[in-house]
Amino acid sequence: MDGRDLARRIVDRSAAVAASLTEQTGVTPCLATVLVGEDPASVTYVRMKRSRCAKAGIRSRHLELPAATTTEELVGALTELSGDPGVHGILLQHPVGPHIDERAAFEAIAPEKDVDGVTTHSFATMSFGLPGGFASCTPGGIMRLLDEYGVDPAGKRAVVVGRSAILGKPVGMMLLGRDATVTYCHSRTADLGSVVREADLLVAAVGRPRFIQGADIKAGAVVIDAGYNPGNVGDVDFASASARASLITPVPGGVGPMTIAVLLEQTADAAVRQLGIEAAAGPDAAAAPAAVSR
């Protein structure tokens, strides 16, 4: 499953929305990125996100805070950005360091600017299938890939390995919303292999290189590898898994590009909502956001 091509189309559509908005209102959508500390991977991720914003005609404003920043200071900075009318979306790059209450920081992001889908408001709207919230970007990107390749989760046995707040948990809820029968696996799951072998649709979100081997993939399963480990390696052993799967995402080039694409799309859409105007939707109807039905 080619995430690069679909991501490019979503970014093109976001750029069209941003350009239309700028033309109509003189206001360019703006994403505020917040980085705490100097973790090299986080620095790279934020740089990539800002560079993609620039290419799509979306402004970005960057706030770099020292590693010793307290929860109160971070909450203060995010509250300020939430109240700034020149900022339409906010991305707090995580992890933020063990001394910070990450949940308190996320909750300081105004729901209408939560374009990374990290607040409880966004999680609740997504889980209940209500309008008005934003998808968690990686899970949102995964659902778009499934739609692009005509994979209907309804009735499928979906197994999600991983239950993090930004990835495993929300993607499981999205699959449930699309009528899959969902099982979550985690570090305390007994006999993980036997659960994985039952999956018609497998999402690997573990953070361990080549953790899932082809021998544990059901023949014909759809395999989504959300993992991204040092050396550009996923959580699934691609060589053995691709011999058994009907569809599989590569690493790199599968889920990764979708995350940033959804972030840009949601930033443009957040600006449209905040400015209260209609912006051109762009040429690609297939790139419209996937609905979560329940």
Residues belonging to the active site: 49, 93, 116
172 sits near ligand NAP (criterion: CB under 6 A)? no
Residue 135 sits in the site that holds ligand NAP (CB under 6 A): no
CB proximity list for 293: less than 8 A, separation 6 or greater: 129, 177, 178, 179
Binding mask 269-288 for ligand NAP (x = CB under 6 A): --------------------
> Does 161 participate in binding ligand NAP (rule CB under 6 A)?
yes
Is residue 117 at the binding interface for ligand NAP, with CB under 6 A as the rule?
A: no
Among 37, 111, 207, 253, binds ligand NAP (CB under 6 A): 207
42 binds ligand NAP, rule: CB under 6 A: no
Contact between 145 and ligand NAP (CB under 6 A)? no
CB of 205 to ligand NAP, least distance (A): 5
Among 133, 170, 227, 282, binds ligand NAP (CB under 6 A): 227
Which residue from 140, 151, 152, 145 is spatially nearest to 179, judged by alpha carbons? 152
Name the residue nearer to ligand NAP (CB basis): 20 or 227: 227
Span from 108-116, 117-125, 156-164, 280-288 in contact with ligand NAP (CB under 6 A): 156-164
Considering the complex, state which of residue 111 and residue 209 has its C-beta at the smaller distance from ligand NAP.
Answer: 209
Binding mask 183-202 for ligand NAP (x = CB under 6 A): --xxxxx--x----------
CB of 289 to ligand NAP, least distance (A): 17
Among residues 228, 269, 270, 287, which is the contact residue for ligand NAP, using CB under 6 A? Answer: 228
Rule CB under 6 A: say whether 167 interacts with ligand NAP: yes
Residues in binding contact with ligand NAP, number by CB under 6 A: 26
* Alpha carbon distance 277, 285 (integer Å): 20
Rounded Cα–Cα distance for residues 175 and 292 (Å): 8
Q: Does 33 bind ligand NAP (CB under 6 A)?
A: no
Question: Where on the chain is the footprint of ligand NAP (CB under 6 A)?
Answer: 138, 161-164, 166-168, 185-189, 192, 205-208, 226-229, 235, 255-256, 259
